Amino acid sequence: MPPKRNYGQFCSLARALDLVGERWTLLIVRDLLAGPRRYKDLMDGLPGIGANLLAARLKHLEETGLVKRSNPQFANKAYMLTDTGRKLEPALVALADWGQFLLEHPQGKDLWLAQWNHLALKARFKAEKAAGLDEIYAFQIGDYAYYLWVTNGKLVTGEGRPPKFQCLITMEPEPFIKVFVDGSLELEEAMNSGLLELEGSQEAFQRCLGLFTGEGG
């Protein structure tokens, strides 16, 4: 094994990039921030990575203590972040926040996964609008379920269906993208045509929308 390439600078940014600055690495962390993932799950969300590279990255992340394998007692073995790895979230949110202006409207043929909303929504979350709120908003986008829990002016997100919620939004990915991502479909229209199914409190849904810049999600 060749001596890993590094910047040789006594600077915490350079050190951080020595660890997670290689191609794909931060995207792997992004996907693991949404929850534990198996090798195959990661492959599916990272088209083009190549099996060897993903394996190498995971091994490196494991060796450096950012990723661990879930306890075999649980269902399928999977990769998940350690506490150290999870602490990267603010940095990823900051980068995602910066990168929002690069999301041009015509989506082209890029991949889009509902699980990326965890990061995208944290980047767009307006904490000052959440004061005093304590609500849970559930989403079902295609077969991917997640929820937003707003409490203490903070946004916590999770996967799956929460035990209780103020409202539940059910949509297929295509209309979701059109309404909340590229804005090519009006929210009103989606609701009228049944592409957006809302269960629970209409007012909670409106409050949810208000927590993010333009629209919500």
Partner DNA sequence: CGGAATCCTCTTCGATACTG
Partner DNA sequence: CAGTATCGAAGAGGATTCCG
* Contact of 147 with 124, CB cutoff 8 Å: no
Residue 178: which residues within 8 A CB-CB, separation 6 or more?
184, 185, 190
Shortest distance, CB of residue 30 to its own copies, whole angstroms?
Answer: 6
Q: What distance in Å separates the CA atoms of residue 3 and residue 65, rounded to the nearest whole number?
A: 18
Contact segment (CB under 7 A) with DNA among 17-25, 86-94, 185-193, 202-210 equals: 17-25
- CB 192 to its own copies: min, Å: 26
**Taking the alpha carbons of 34, 39, 45, 49 in that order, is the dihedral positive or negative?**
positive
From its own copies, DNA, none, interface partner of 107 (C-beta below 5 to 8 A by class): its own copies
- Window of 98-106, 148-156, 159-167, 189-197 that interacts with its own copies by CB under 8 A: 98-106
Within positions 121 to 150, which residues make up the interface with its own copies, using CB under 8 A? 123
184 binds its own copies (CB under 8 A): no
Among 67, 136, 168, 181, binds its own copies (CB under 8 A): 181
In angstroms, what CA-CA distances link 204 with 107, 136, 138, 169, 180? 29, 9, 11, 11, 17
Please state, in angstroms and rounded to a whole number, the distance separating the CA atoms of residues 76 and 71: 9
Nearest residue (CB) to DNA, 11 versus 131: 11
Q: Does 56 bind its own copies (CB under 8 A)?
A: no
Considering only 36-44, 74-82, 102-110, 160-168, which stretch makes contact with its own copies by CB under 8 A? 102-110
64 contact partners, CB below 8 Å, separation of at least 6? 19
Closer by beta carbon to DNA, 12 or else 52: 52
SS3 130: helix
Phi, psi values for residue 124, rounded to 5°: -100, -5
Q: Which residues bind DNA (CB under 7 A)?
A: 2, 4-5, 22-24, 38-41, 48-53, 55-56, 58-59, 76-78
